[in-house]
Structure 1
Amino acid sequence: MPSASGSVAIERSPGRGDVRARIIDAAAEMLRAGGSAAVTTRGVADAAGVQAPTLYRLFGDKDGLLDAVAEHVMRTQVAAKAQVVDAARAADVDPLDDLRSGWQAQLEFGLSNPAVFRMLSDPERVATSPAARLGREVLEARIHRVAEIGRLRVTEARAVDLVQAAGVGVLTALLATPAERRDPELGAAMYEAVLAQILTPAHTAGAPEGDDALRGAAVAVRAVAPRLEMLSPGERGLLVEWLDRAIDQL
């Protein structure tokens, strides 16, 4: 789970007697403490109580080990986020508050785990990363809740893309800047800019007037359309097609 400072406590892999788990745990501690440069095969082998050839047999090379470690740390973070989303839905937490909390948690995670963020923000790694895919699904769930209350003025997919791209961009900019020169308001400013792109104005939410209100209503119906069991699959598909067209043209 994330700590108050945003760092992620390294969750011990199941079966501490398992050699692979011990190696990943040891490497994860080194990665968090000193970045990828601190992760050496000799150091990890010593910390895990194994011989260096064991690392090569299990992971191929250092890059393979780092891939496994990044997945492990990210999977821990994603699991924590998924629990938060589930709890927010169960407690009927305002979807916009939940989305903001997710944004802040992700920024804190990236700043506290720069090595993991840099590895998992690599497009080639993201394309094949189960943890990155699960992380996007958590964001999709948050955006879907916003759509259900009629506050999205764009499609859910576009909203997810915008929030994700903005988050990666902010973290990349902050991590490229010396800590003492970082703008502490950059993340909040970017978030507000994204909200201006994806949300209907608050005063029009639920009001049957204006393109923003119409678009928000269409997106809200689109969000629940797949669950309208009183319609046939073909009818639901046609409804979704109509709504997508309306959202695109409004």
Structure 2
Amino acid sequence: MRLRILETAHDLLNRDGRDAVTTRAVTSALHIQAPTIYRIFGDKQGLLDQVALHGFSAHLATWTGWTPGADPVESMRQGWAMHVEWGLRHPQVYSIAYGDPRVGSSSPAADAIDAILRTQVEQAAADGVLAVPVEVAVSMVRAAGVGVVFTLLAMPSDARDLSLSERIRESIFAAVFTDRSPGADRGGAAMQLKRELEGATALSPNERALLGDWLDRLVQ
């Protein structure tokens, strides 16, 4: 029943927009009672959140994140392109995932995408090519990517300049990443060391936290 509700709500969303996803519309289509929806999803927002996650499932299934031996920065370029393409193809789902900010939390769909992004960024840190702290990098890439999608969605489909996405991506990546050359700035080395601190046993938790704070300040 849960899957049937999600698929019905997803169809309503794509066909008629967010306002069409009502408890009455879903229950009428499935010939069920409203308490069934409340029992499974809690409330309408809970249903919408799960519809967005359901809508992202096909996208997530094709993007598993970094694999051993892969270049994390190049993988992020591919992930960025997939993310923007998905948002433009599914604006209603994307708007539920990212268009309703909530202080202290986000939608399950956005959380799932962020988890993949964080994996990529952490690997970049481990490889010594991250120039800023992990959380800063995740926030910068996320903000830029979401901004690109909503900016393009606001344009007439036949007038969208898709090169905007690539230009913004490369600008953000230039600020977030460094290179592995001997002359690379100290940020990459600092973030690589911070990443290695997680498994260090020679230092106490307080010492690791203090050293991590110092390393963050080096790249600010």
TM-score tier after normalising by the smaller chain length: 0.7 to 0.9
Change in 2 beyond 3 A, CA 1:58/1:80: closer
Shift of 1:29: 2.5
Query: Which of 147, 151, 170 is the aligned partner of 2:125?
Result: 147
Deviation (angstroms), 1:25: 1.9
Q: Which amino acid aligns with 2:95?
A: R
After superposition, the Cα gap between the structure-2 partners of 1:231 and 1:89, relative to the gap in structure 1 and judged at 3 Å, is farther
Q: What letter corresponds to residue 229 of structure 1 in structure 2?
A: T
Contact 1:126 1:132 in 2 (8 A): no
Range with bigger deviation, 169-178 or 227-236? 227-236
Distance 2:95 2:155 in 1: 14
Is the aligned partner of 1:162 residue 2:162? no
Q: CA RMSD in A?
A: 2.8
Decide which of 118, 142, 150 is 2:95's aligned counterpart: 118
Equivalent residue number for residue 86 of structure 2 = 109
Moved more, 64-73 or 46-55: 46-55
TM-score by length of 2: 0.84
- 1:9-43 per-residue CA deviation (whole Å, 9 max, x = no partner) reads xxxxxxxxx3x332122111232344324435454
Structure 1 residues 56 and 89: CA distance shift in structure 2, 3 A:
closer
- Shift in alpha-carbon separation, 1:59–1:134, aligned structure 2, 3 A: closer
54-63 or 108-117, larger mean C-alpha shift: 54-63
Alpha-carbon distance between aligned partners in 1 of 2:131 and 2:169, rounded to the nearest angstrom: 16
Give the equivalent residue in structure 1 for 2:214: 242
Residues 41 and 146 from structure 1, CA distance in 2 versus in 1: closer, same or farther, beyond 3 angstroms?
Answer: same
Pair 1:62–1:130, CA change in 2 (3 A): closer
Count of residue correspondences: 219
Structure 1 length-normalised TM: 0.75
Instruction: Call closer, same or farther: CA 1:77–1:143 in 2, change over 3 Å.
Output: farther
Please list, as runs of the form range in 1=range in 2, the aligned pairs for 1:202-221 lying within 5 A after superposition: 202=179, 205-207=180-182, 209=183, 212-221=184-193
Q: Distance in 2 between matches of 1:66 and 1:143?
A: 29
Aligned partners of 1:233, 1:59: CA distance in 2, in Å? Answer: 39
The answer (yes or no) to whether the contact 2:141–2:172 under 8 Å persists in 1 is: yes
Give identity over the alignment, percent: 39
2:51 maps to which residue?
Answer: 69
Q: Does the alignment pair 1:84 with 2:64?
A: yes
Moved more, 142-151 or 56-65: 56-65
Question: Does 114-123 or 37-46 show the bigger shift?
Answer: 37-46
> Does 1:22 find its partner at 2:4?
yes
The answer as to whether partners of 2:132 and 2:191 remain within 8 angstroms in 1 is: yes
Q: Is 1:175 paired with 2:156?
A: no
The 10-residue stretch of structure 1 (190-199 or 163-172) with the greater mean CA deviation from structure 2: 190-199
**Unaligned stretches of 5+ in structure 2?**
none
State the Cα distance separating 1:165 from its structure 2 match. 0.6
Cα distance between partner residues in 2 of 1:136 and 1:187: 19
